[in-house]
C-alpha cells in the first residue's frame, strides 16, 4: 500500500509541474499575417474557422485547415501568411518545462464534435466584452489546450527528467518577469553561482534568464496594449521597463512593430476589453 501511494504522489507532482499556464487567449480576423521567425519561449495553439492562413516551417508551406488545432512548441522558428480573411483563435501558454518537446515540430489535432463545440463556446465568451465569463474562459481554455497536448505522440516528448531547480526558477520568473537583479536571487535559491545557473537555465529552456524574462514581459505588454486601457508609458512601467523609449525598442525587436503601431492595429476593438478577452478585429499581423 505504501508503494502504491508513493507512486501516485510522484505522478501527481509531475502533472502539476507541467500544467499549462495561459498567457494569451484571443480571437481576431486576419487580413494580413506576415511574420518571420516567430520563435518564442512559449507554446502556441491555433484554430481557424476557414481556409486561407498558412505556416512556413523549414521552407515548407503548411496550410491551417479549418476546424483543426495546430500546436507549436516553444523555440520553433516559423513564418506565417494568409491569402484571404480568416477567423483566427489563438492561445499562448507555458508548461512546467518549456523544452519538454524538441523544437522544430508542429503538431495538428482534429478535435471531435464535442471539442469543436467547446472551442466555439469559448470564442463566443471571448467576443463578449464583459468580465462575467472570465473564469469560464480560463477553464474552457485549459479544456481546449489539454486534448491537443495529449494528442502529441509520446515519441516526441523528451525522455529526460525535468530539473526541479529549473522548474522552480521558471515559476519564479513567470510570477514576476519584471524583477530586477533576479538572476542573483534565483541562482542563490538553486544553490548555484550566477554563471552556472545561467548556463544550466539556457540548456533547459533555450534562452538565458534575461532573454526569457524579456519575452514574457513583451507578451504581457501585448495583452495590456490590446486592452486599450493604459497609456503606452503606463504599459512600459508595468512591464518593468525604465521608459517608453526602451520599451518601444525592445517591443519592436521582438514583435517587428512598435507598441504604438501594434495598438493602432487594435483600434477596432472595444476599449472596455480586459485581460484575455478581445472582440474580433479586422486588422493585420497577429502572431
**In the structure grid, which three cell numbers stand for residue 208, read together?**
538565458
Q: In whole angstroms, give the CA distance from residue 106 to residue 205.
A: 18
pLDDT tens per residue across span 171-198: 788 778 877 667 888 888 888 999 999 9
Q: With pLDDT > 70 as the criterion, what percentage of the chain qualifies?
A: 79
Domains of the chain, first to last: 19-156 (2.60.120.280), 164-267 (1.10.10.60)
Residue 131 pLDDT: 66
Q: pTM of the prediction?
A: 0.66
**Residue closest to 67 by CA, chosen among 11, 118, 20:** 118
Confidence of residue 15 (pLDDT cuts 50, 70, 90): very low
pLDDT tens per residue across span 232-263: 999 999 988 988 999 999 988 877 788 998 88
**Which residues, other chains included, contact 64 with Cβ-Cβ below 8 Å and sequence gap of 6+?**
46, 48, 51, 53, 54, 55, 70, 86
Any idea which of 46-55, 60-69, 247-256, 266-275 has the lowest mean pLDDT?
Answer: 266-275
Q: What is the dihedral of CA 97, 136, 281, 274, to 10 degrees?
A: -90
| pLDDT beyond 80 at 8 | no
- 3-state class of 10 per DSSP? helix
Amino acid at each position: 500500500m505504501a508503494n502504491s501511494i508513493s507512486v501516485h504522489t510522484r505522478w501527481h507532482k509531475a502533472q502539476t509541474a507541467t500544467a499549462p499556464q495561459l498567457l494569451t487567449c484571443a480571437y481576431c480576423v486576419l487580413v494580413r499575417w506576415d511574420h518571420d521567425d516567430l520563435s518564442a519561449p512559449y507554446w502556441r495553439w491555433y484554430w481557424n474557422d476557414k481556409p486561407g492562413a498558412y505556416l512556413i516551417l523549414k521552407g515548407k508551406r503548411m496550410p491551417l485547415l479549418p476546424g483543426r488545432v495546430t500546436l507549436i512548441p516553444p523555440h520553433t522558428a516559423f513564418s506565417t501568411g494568409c491569402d484571404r480573411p480568416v477567423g483566427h483563435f489563438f492561445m499562448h501558454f507555458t508548461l512546467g518545462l518549456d523544452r519538454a518537446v524538441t523544437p522544430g515540430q508542429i503538431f495538428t489535432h482534429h478535435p471531435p464534435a464535442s471539442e469543436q463545440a467547446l472551442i466555439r463556446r469559448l470564442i463566443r465568451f471571448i467576443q463578449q466584452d464583459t468580465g462575467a465569463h472570465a473564469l469560464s474562459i480560463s477553464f474552457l481554455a485549459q479544456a481546449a489546450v489539454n486534448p491537443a497536448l495529449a494528442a502529441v505522440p509520446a515519441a516526441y516528448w523528451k525522455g529526460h527528467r525535468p530539473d526541479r531547480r529549473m522548474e522552480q526558477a521558471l515559476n519564479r520568473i513567470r510570477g514576476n518577469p519584471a524583477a530586477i537583479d533576479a538572476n542573483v536571487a534565483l541562482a542563490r535559491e538553486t544553490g548555484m553561482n550566477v554563471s552556472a545557473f545561467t548556463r544550466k537555465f539556457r540548456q533547459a529552456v533555450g534562452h538565458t534568464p534575461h532573454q526569457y524574462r524579456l519575452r514574457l514581459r513583451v507578451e504581457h505588454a501585448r495583452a495590456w496594449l490590446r486592452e486599450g486601457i493604459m497609456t503606452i508609458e503606463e504599459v512600459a512601467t508595468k512591464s518593468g521597463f525604465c521608459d517608453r523609449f526602451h520599451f518601444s525598442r525592445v517591443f519592436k525587436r521582438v514583435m517587428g512593430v512598435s507598441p504604438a503601431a501594434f495598438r493602432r492595429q487594435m483600434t477596432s476593438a472595444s476599449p472596455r476589453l480586459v485581460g484575455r478577452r478581445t472582440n474580433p478585429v479586422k486588422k493585420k499581423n497577429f502572431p
